[in-house]
């Protein structure tokens, strides 16, 4: 969906790549920790309209001749089955996906480093699999007393117990499957070995958020705080930077709290190069912002999305309710509430309408969905034939194609054939069609139905649209909406199978 631009990616790339090259000149080798997602950074794209999800990839392509990539993943995340939310895949799968995505874009990963290892069985299986794929894979054991026991860490028993990874380029980009992947620990371990071998190497951090030269209370920075509420990140004024340079800079609590220890480690290694955690960074995100009003509004919307996501995860028992309350406080700080997201109230109204039309005697569970497209709100409600998400997508495609509601895009015989398959052969208690199924049905119908063919052509216009549902979606709906690139939130109301007419 087209939207007003708030960020200029090309302008940003020029400034950001120049800043990285400037930092590289201070050393013969620079270990550059990449924070956030190296591929498919949808958070940045939502908060900074105009930011391309693969902007970091473009930057790496600019730096390609002088850089190589190391990928880190935590053994603890592998063992705990941690899921990457945007693709609903495990960190093992996210590691493989990132390697394949980078390779398809002409960028090779030199090695995978599995960090924080404490004899986890799943990690050993994953390493064996990577080895079989021909991917250079190394294991770094968890160092007891890290990071506080500096003397032990900077010794043969600490960093010296880790394997040293040979690199050949002046820039070593260190990225990971997610936060707390052990990227910094790997970089410092490499610095330790380089110092023993008289290699002039340095360390720097590249993170899109928080934006150090935007105010603490700016919605862009608050959106970062919302995005990391589940791991307890808080934005703060960097006291070290303020003291050293009399400049107010924004950083987050983990970097600020750990900086004294980090600096002690660097000094012991022989690298007393930074006076503040902000100084370690090379981020120039602000340089790409061309419309502050647009990014402020986009950030507010992202905070509400995070609120609904955490509320769902809290119901599932994946996070503590305190995370939801924290994001709710951020919303209050910005004077916004649930209804500030335009699709929320219409989705709830659609569910009420579904119940009214079915009659009071029906024990079904009533669901509503709403999508915003080109400034217009389109709704859908569940029925014996379609899930509410499916009905909403069909109605949205009709609207995009300027078709009246009474036109049937999907022939009844195709819908009934799929329903019979689900009910009699697959023994599915909910034979109505989900989003993935209606997309397949639409593709089948397109060869016979010009109206369906026209709607099929308009599917790309759904990408980036905002949608809200009143209930937990099925896997088929989640997968279909994710494939369409729609930003979905939910009230996360449970739909008991025994009463659900879906």
Once rounded to an integer, what is the mean pLDDT over residues 226-253? 95
496: left (phi over 0), alpha (psi -120 to 50) or beta: beta
Tell me what pLDDT residue 178 has: 78
Whether 1 shows a pLDDT value over 80: the answer reads no
DSSP per-residue string spanning 387-415: -HHHHHHHHHHHHHTT--TTS-SS-HHHH
Tell me what pLDDT residue 334 has: 97
Once rounded to an integer, what is the mean pLDDT over residues 37-42? 84
Phi, psi for 358 (deg, rounded to 5): -85, -25
Tokens representing residue 41 in the block: 């950074």
Residue bearing tokens 């990839």: 57
pLDDT tens digit string along 335-355? Answer: 999 999 999 999 999 999 988
Alpha-carbon distance 334 to 339, whole Å? 14
Tell me what pLDDT residue 355 has: 84
Whether 327 shows a pLDDT value over 90: the answer reads yes
How many Å separate Cα 217 from the centre of its chain? 22
Burial 7-25 (b: 16+ CB within 10 A, else e): bbbeebbeebbebbbebbe
Tokens representing residue 306 in the block: 């995070």
Tell me what pLDDT residue 428 has: 65
Residue bearing tokens 């920075």: 221
Tell me what pLDDT residue 498 has: 33
Alpha-carbon distance 434 to 456, whole Å? 17
pLDDT tens digit string along 434-476? Answer: 999 999 999 988 888 899 999 999 999 999 999 999 999 998 9
Beta-bridge mates of residue 32: 173, 204
Are the CB atoms for 248 and 237 separated by under 8 Å?
Answer: yes
Q: Taking the CB of residue 46, how many other CB atoms lie within 10 A of it?
A: 20
Alpha-carbon distance 86 to 389, whole Å? 19
Q: What are the respective helix, strand and coil percentages of the chain, to the nearest 5?
A: 50, 15, 35
Tell me what pLDDT residue 496 has: 53
Whether 501 shows a pLDDT value over 60: the answer reads no
Whether 244 shows a pLDDT value over 50: the answer reads yes
What is the overall mean pLDDT for the chain?
Answer: 90
Please state, for a pLDDT cut of 90, what percent of the chain lies above it.
Answer: 70
Tell me what pLDDT residue 425 has: 66
Q: Which residue has the higher pLDDT, 92 or 419?
A: 92
Q: Are strands 67-74 and 171-176 parallel, antiparallel or unpaired?
A: parallel
**pLDDT band with cut points at 50, 70 and 90 for residue 363:** low
pLDDT tens digit string along 165-189? Answer: 999 999 999 999 877 899 999 999 9
For residue 108, count CB atoms less than 10 angstroms from its CB and return exposed for 0-12, middle for 13-18, buried for 19 or more. Answer: exposed
Q: Which residue ranges form the domains of the chain, and what is each CATH number?
A: 9-212+275-287 (3.10.630.10), 293-339 (no CATH), 342-493 (3.40.140.40)
Please state, for a pLDDT cut of 70, what percent of the chain lies above it.
Answer: 94
Tell me what pLDDT residue 493 has: 82
**pLDDT band with cut points at 50, 70 and 90 for residue 32:** very high
For residue 35, count CB atoms less than 10 angstroms from its CB and return exposed for 0-12, middle for 13-18, buried for 19 or more. Answer: buried
Phi, psi for 306 (deg, rounded to 5): -65, -40
- Measured on CA atoms in the order 218, 223, 228, 232, is the torsion positive or negative? positive
Beta-bridge mates of residue 173: 32, 69
Cis, peptide link before residue 109, omega less than 30° from 0: no
Alpha-carbon distance 374 to 1, whole Å? 7
**pLDDT band with cut points at 50, 70 and 90 for residue 411:** confident
Whether 366 shows a pLDDT value over 70: the answer reads yes
Tokens representing residue 156 in the block: 């043969």
Tokens representing residue 360 in the block: 């009071």
At 260 the three-state DSSP class reads helix
pLDDT tens digit string along 465-500? Answer: 999 999 999 989 999 999 999 999 999 887 654 334
How many Å separate Cα 63 from the centre of its chain? 24
Q: What is the 3-state secondary structure (H, E, C) of 276-333?
A: CHHHHECCCHHHHECCHHHHHHHHHHHHHHHHHHHHHHHHCCCCCHHHHHHHHHHHHH
Task: Return the CA Rg of the chain.
Answer: 25
Residues 6+ apart with CB under 8 A from 317: none
Once rounded to an integer, what is the mean pLDDT over residues 418-437? 77
Are the CB atoms for 458 and 401 separated by under 8 Å?
Answer: yes
Tell me what pLDDT residue 416 has: 82
Tell me what pLDDT residue 362 has: 43
Phi, psi for 251 (deg, rounded to 5): -140, -175
Write out the H or E segment, with its range, that includes residue 20: helix 9-24
Whether 245 shows a pLDDT value over 70: the answer reads yes
């Amino acid at each position: 969906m087209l939207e007003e631009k708030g960020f200029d990616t090309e302008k940003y790339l020029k400034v950001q790549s120049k800043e990285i090259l400037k930092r590289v000149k201070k050393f013969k080798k620079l270990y550059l920790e990449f924070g956030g997602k190296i591929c498919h950074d949808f958070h940045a794209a939502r908060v900074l309209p105009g930011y391309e999800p693969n902007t970091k990839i473009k930057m790496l392509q600019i730096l390609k001749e002088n850089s190589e990539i190391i990928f880190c993943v935590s053994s603890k995340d592998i063992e705990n089955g941690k899921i990457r939310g945007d693709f609903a895949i495990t960190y093992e799968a996210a590691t493989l996906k990132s390697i394949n995505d980078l390779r398809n874009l002409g960028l090779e990963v030199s090695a995978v480093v599995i960090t924080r290892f404490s004899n986890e069985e799943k990690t050993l299986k994953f390493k064996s699999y990577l080895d079989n794929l021909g991917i250079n894979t190394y294991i770094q054991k968890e160092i007891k007393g890290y990071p506080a026991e500096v003397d032990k860490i900077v010794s043969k028993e600490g960093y010296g117990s880790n394997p040293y990874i040979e690199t050949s380029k002046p820039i070593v980009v260190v990225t990971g499957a997610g936060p707390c992947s052990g990227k910094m620990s790997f970089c410092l371990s490499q610095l330790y070995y380089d110092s023993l071998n008289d290699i002039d190497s340095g360390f720097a951090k590249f993170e899109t958020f928080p934006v150090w030269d935007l105010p603490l209370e700016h919605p862009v920075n608050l959106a970062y705080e919302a995005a990391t509420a589940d791991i307890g990140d808080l934005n703060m004024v960097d006291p070290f930077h303020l003291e050293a340079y009399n400049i107010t800079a924004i950083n987050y609590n983990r970097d600020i709290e750990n900086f004294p220890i980090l600096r002690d480690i660097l000094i012991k290694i022989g690298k007393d190069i930074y006076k503040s955690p902000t100084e370690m960074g090379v981020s120039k995100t602000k340089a790409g912002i061309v419309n502050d009003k647009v990014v402020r509004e986009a950030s507010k919307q992202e905070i509400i999305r995070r609120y609904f996501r955490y509320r769902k995860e809290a119901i599932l028992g994946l996070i503590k309710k305190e995370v939801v309350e924290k994001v709710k406080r951020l919303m209050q700080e910005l004077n916004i509430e649930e209804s500030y997201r335009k699709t929320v109230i219409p989705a709830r109204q659609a569910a009420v309408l579904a119940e009214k039309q079915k009659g009071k005697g029906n024990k079904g569970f009533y669901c509503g969905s709403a999508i915003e497209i080109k400034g217009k709100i389109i709704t859908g409600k569940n029925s014996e034939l379609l899930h509410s998400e499916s009905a909403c997508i069909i109605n949205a495609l009709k609207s995009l194609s300027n078709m009246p509601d009474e036109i049937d895009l999907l022939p009844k015989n195709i819908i009934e054939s799929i329903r019979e398959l689900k009910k009699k052969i697959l023994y599915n208690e909910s034979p109505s069609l989900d989003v993935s199924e209606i997309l397949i049905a639409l593709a089948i119908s397109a060869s016979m139905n010009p109206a369906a063919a026209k709607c099929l052509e308009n599917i790309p216009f759904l990408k980036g649209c905002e949608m809200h549902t009143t209930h937990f979606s099925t896997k088929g709906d989640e997968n279909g909406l994710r494939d369409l690139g729609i930003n979905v939130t939910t009230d996360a109301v449970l739909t008991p199978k025994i009463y659900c007419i879906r």
